[in-house]
Structure 1
Amino acid sequence: MTSPPAPQTSPLHTRFLEAGMRVLARDGYAGFKQSAVCTETGLTTGAFYHSFPSWKSFERDLIDYWRRESTERLVDWVESLPSPHGRIDALIEVALNLPHRTEAAIRVWAAGTPEVAEAVTQVDDDRTAAVTRAFEEIGIDAQRAARLAGSSMLMLIGHEASGGDVALLEWSMRHTLETDPHVIAALAAADRDSATDRKSADVHEGPGPGAAIAGQSASSPE
C-alpha cells in the first residue's frame, strides 16, 4: 500500500497529538480529557485552541495520526525492504513496538464511537493485508497466508486487550515461524533464492577495482 502524503502540521499540533497518545496509554479512554492533554504538554487551553478548532477536531486528527504513524508509514517501510525473509522479521519487530496501551484505549473508545470503530477496522484490515502479502511473497499459498495473518492479528489484539508481557507476544509470533512446516520450508527456499541471487550478482559484476590493482602489484617486478 502507498499512504497519502502526511498533512502539513506544526510542531505544536504534533506535540498535542503525541501528548494525546501518551494520555490514552497512561489513563485509558476514561481519562482522555482535554485538561489531561494540556497538562501532559505543559501548555494552556489557549495553545490547544490555537492548534485545533474544537476537541472533536483534535480527536479526528489524533485517530488519523495514529493510523498514519502506527500503520501506513510502517507498512510502507516494511514493504520497501528487499528481502522477503527480512520483511517477515520486520513485521514482527513492528508488532512488538506498536503503542499497545494506546491502541488498547483506542479499541475501548471504538466500542462507542462509530467513526473510531471504522478507523480501527481499517487499521486491522491494512495490517492483516500487509502480513498476508509478506507470507505470500515467501511462497505461502493465499489461503494459508490469510490464516497466518489472521492468527497474528489475534495475537496482537489479544496482547493489547490483556496488557500482558510483550515477551510472550514475541514468543507466540516467532513460535509460528519456527514450527509451521509450510513457513519453515518457504523461508528456507526464500533464503536459498536470496543466496543464489547474491552469487549471480557477484559473477555478473566481476572482480572489483581492488582485485585489478592487487593483480598489477603481484605482476610488477620488485
Structure 2
Amino acid sequence: MTVDGESAQESPLRRRFLDAGMVVLGRDGYAGFKQAAVCAETGLTTGAFYHSFRNWKEFEAALIEHWRDAATDRLVARLDTHPSPHERIDALINVALSLPHRSEAAIRVWAAGDPEVRAALRQVDRVRRDAVARYLRDLGVDADHADRFAGMAMLLLIGHESAGTDIGELEWSMRHALETDPHFQAF
C-alpha cells in the first residue's frame, strides 16, 4: 500500500509508467524499449520507477497486462453492450482501427523471444478472434464461416501491424471483406 491507502497496482504513477511504456514501444519498437526511454517519456527518475515496480521484469509483466486490459478486455466488454449486431460489427471495425498498432507490432516482435509475452499475445489474439466470431454468429452467420472469417480478420489486423500499412488500407480491407462475402449479403 502507498501512504494514501491506494495499492501500488492502481497508482497513477504506475499507470503513467505503463502508458509511457506503450508510447516507447510504438515510437522506438522493441529494440528501443528500455528503462531509460520509459523514464524519459514520463519525465520521471529511475527512483520513481522503482517506487512503482520492483524491477524491469515486473514492469514488463504489468505492461503486458495493462495492454491486454486496455486493448482487448475492456474493448470487448464495451462492444458487448451494443444492442444491435450490425452496430456491434461497425463498432468492432472502429475499435480495430483505433488499436495501438505500432505498439502491438513491437509486442509481436517481443513475443518472438519471450515465452510469457508470446502466451499473453496468443491469449489476446484468441479473445479477439472469438469476439469477432461471436459477433458474426449474432448476425446469423453459420458458426464455421464466422470462425473462418474471424481468422481472416485477425490476419488482416496482424498483417497491417507487421507491415505498418496505412490505416486506410486496413479499413478498406475490413469493410471490403464484409461487403463482398456472400454470407453477409443476406444480413
Normalization by structure 1: what TM-score?
A: 0.80
Q: Structure 1 CA distance, aligned partners of 2:37 and 2:180?
A: 46
Mark the runs of 5 or more structure 1 residues left unpaired by the alignment.
1-6, 187-222
Are positions 1:28 and 2:29 aligned together?
A: yes
1:146-161 matches, cutoff 5 A = 146-161=147-162
Q: 1:85-124 to 2 correspondence within 5 Å?
A: 85-124=86-125
The share of aligned pairs that are identical, in percent, is 65
After TM superposition, the structure 1 = structure 2 runs for residues 44-193 of structure 1, keeping only pairs within 5 Å, are 44-186=45-187
- What is the letter of the counterpart of residue 26 of structure 2? A
**Aligned partners of 2:38 and 2:139: how far apart in 1?**
44
Distance 2:87 2:182 in 1: 19
Aligned match of 2:38? 37
CA offset at residue 154 of structure 1?
0.3
**Matched residues in 1 for 2:119 and 2:105: separation?**
15
Counterpart Cα distance in 1 of 2:185 and 2:99: 26
CA distance in 2, matches of 1:33, 1:146: 38
* Deviation per residue, 1:8-35 (Å, 9 max, x gap): 5111000000000000000000000000
Counterpart CA distance in 2 for 1:55 and 1:138 is 44
Write out the 4+ residue segments of structure 1 that deviate beyond 4 Å after TM superposition.
Answer: none
Number of residue pairs matched by the alignment: 180
Question: For residues 52 and 8 of structure 1, what CA distance do their matches in structure 2 show?
Answer: 9
| One-letter amino acid of the counterpart of residue 102, structure 1 | S
C-alpha RMSD of matched pairs (Å): 0.9
Matched residue SS, 1:85: helix
* TM-aligned CA deviation for residue 115 of structure 1: 0.1
Q: Where does structure 2 lack aligned partners over 5 or more consecutive residues? A: 1-7
Q: CA separation in 2, counterparts of 1:118 and 1:182? A: 33
* TM-score w.r.t. length of structure 2: 0.95
**Distance in structure 1 (CA, Å) of the matches to 2:119 and 2:69:** 15
